[in-house]
Structure 1
Amino acid sequence: MSADLAQAIRHDGHAFLPGAALRAGFDPAGQALSGAAWEDFAASWDDLRPDEYMADGGRYRLRRHAIFHAEAGGVVQRDPDGPHYQTLNNNPLNGGVQRRFAPVLPAVAESPALAALLSGARAAFEAAGQGARPWRIEMHQFRIEARPGTPGQPTPEGMHRDGVAFVLVALVRRHNVAGGATGIRVDGREGEGHFVLENPLDAVLLDDARVWHGVTPVLPLRDGEPGFRDVLVLTFV
């Protein structure tokens, strides 16, 4: 699995991985990304906190954040909570400031689901890059809410890079929303690709140095009822 992913990332700058394939490759024993372990992990998105840094005044984004590190070939360990920072060049809307978000809860950070996702993504990125190396990893839990008449903006900054080495974006849940198409633009190639993360654990893995990405707004499918789009983002530096 990691070799195939690595080849796609090296050749195309990104790889789309359907949820079933991700489960098979990242959790071959079927114990971390299915059943109660996965349900508990996904349910933690119901306990996120408002993002207070939205320069557009939006109140549609909830999140939690954590920082991890790993020495070359070593285990992933959580670091003390700290700020998230992006330059204005990478995030012209909300960059240029140290942003502090509610921390990921300990049970979530220590969950077998997260361990499987961290391990699988790390293996793919190391195979696509220069092999085992030290990593600084940031984890972001996002919920984008869509209310009647008020779309949710997964990437209000537009097409962007995160300013890291590699990124994994995995869908956790979609409820009563339309839209949310991921756009991909690769440096040196014409055109833009589009796909939708529709099912749990549908994911895209990105070489951030080569790829721009963004997501279209989400709107409620049924009138009078809010919706949401939950994703996990893991960035590797």
Structure 2
Amino acid sequence: MDESTEFWTPAETTAFQEPSPAVAAARESLASTGVHLMPAAAVRAHFSSGEEEWARFASHWEGLSQDRYAAERGTCRLRRYGRFSLTPATGELTQLPDTPFVQPDRSNPLYVDVDRHFDPLTDAFVTDPLLRSVVSLLGHVAGALDSAPCWIAKVHPFRVVATAGGEGQPTPEGRHRDGVTLVSSLLVGRNNASGGRSSVFAPEGPTLLSATLDEPASLLLSDDRRTLHGVSPIRPLDPSRPAHRDVLVTTLTPA
């Protein structure tokens, strides 16, 4: 893609309304503790989505591509990657040109300053209304951390696979930062998987929150500037069959 693509224009969106109680609670928790777990029911209610919409959204995870950088370290992970700009005042969301994914110094220890090239998001995924709902929700929440007039949203649909009798590593780098302001993990689905416990830590080590995201639409949020995060390995419940865990990781940084 050579130019930015504006696919939700101001005419098609409205300025952000007063936050719902669930969003207000997330903002308060992030501002005070740096972490918040939004239950699946609250997320679905915010999106006003039903089973059909979530099934359509989850189907995009069947079209992910191999992450060769993870494979080099023995992890079977599928993913795609894309960037957007989000204007909080209007809700305008604009797809940005495809670029390599680079994490800054003092963030992910495995890939600091490494240009990683991933396949872009599919057109069907980019235009799925639930994607816009997710990013817009995060824009609401991120306002508790920074009053940015524009956010850069980096969107990563992930599938981590555990082979039969083996394990899959959602975060082979261990505890880490992403070098952003807000980091989020939305559970899309799990199949035959145990483990995969998400934890957020204070920089000095104590655990601030630890939970297994096991219900689709569960949303974990954290202030990446003052926390670390990681996810434990997944393993097959039935050791004769592979397991997988699907999440949407989206980060926001002021433009």
SS of the equivalent of 1:76 reads strand
- The aligned residue for residue 15 of structure 2 is none
Equivalent of 2:32 in 4, 8, 11: 11
**Cα shift readout 1:167-190 (whole Å, capped 9, x = no counterpart):** 111000000011000111124674
Equivalent of 1:61 in 68, 77, 85: 77
Equivalent of 2:108 in 91, 100, 107: 91
1:115 aligns with 2:136: no
1:77 aligns with 2:98: no
The more displaced of 154-163 and 38-47 is: 38-47
Equivalent of 1:34 in 46, 50, 54: 50
**TM-score with structure 2 length normalisation?**
0.85
Unaligned runs of 5+ in 1: none
- The aligned residue for residue 9 of structure 2 is none
Answer whether contact 1:160 1:213 (CA < 8 A) is retained. Answer: yes
| Counterpart amino acid of residue 89 in structure 2 | G
SS of the equivalent of 2:70 reads coil
The count of corresponding residues between Structure 1 and Structure 2 is 231
Answer whether contact 1:54 1:94 (CA < 8 A) is retained. Answer: no
- The aligned residue for residue 106 of structure 1 is 123
- The aligned residue for residue 138 of structure 1 is 154
**TM-score with structure 1 length normalisation?**
0.92
1:228 aligns with 2:244: yes
Whole-Å separation in 1 of the counterparts to 2:138 and 2:72? 32
TM-superposed CA distance for 1:230, in Å, is 0.2
TM-superposed CA distance for 1:41, in Å, is 1.1
TM-superposed CA distance for 1:35, in Å, is 3.1
Task: Report the RMSD for the aligned CA atoms in angstroms.
Answer: 1.7
Whole-Å separation in 2 of the counterparts to 1:152 and 1:6? 32
**Cα shift readout 1:170-227 (whole Å, capped 9, x = no counterpart):** 0000000110001111246744532110010111111100110000000001021001
SS of the equivalent of 1:138 reads strand
Whole-Å separation in 2 of the counterparts to 1:130 and 1:93? 28
- The aligned residue for residue 3 of structure 2 is none
- The aligned residue for residue 19 of structure 2 is none
- Rate the CA distance shift 1:60–1:6 in 2: closer, same or farther, 3 A: same
Answer whether contact 1:181 1:197 (CA < 8 A) is retained. Answer: yes
Whole-Å separation in 2 of the counterparts to 1:55 and 1:175? 21
Question: Structure 1 stretches (4+) deviating beyond 3 angstroms?
Answer: 187-193
1:175 aligns with 2:196: no
Whole-Å separation in 2 of the counterparts to 1:218 and 1:187? 25
The more displaced of 138-147 and 46-55 is: 46-55
Percent of aligned pairs with the same amino acid: 35
Equivalent of 1:216 in 224, 232, 255: 232
TM-superposed CA distance for 1:135, in Å, is 0.8
TM-superposed CA distance for 1:94, in Å, is 2.7
TM-superposed CA distance for 1:67, in Å, is 0.6
| Counterpart amino acid of residue 139 in structure 1 | V
| Counterpart amino acid of residue 175 in structure 2 | M
- The aligned residue for residue 151 of structure 1 is 167
SS of the equivalent of 2:116 reads coil
Whole-Å separation in 2 of the counterparts to 1:130 and 1:200? 28
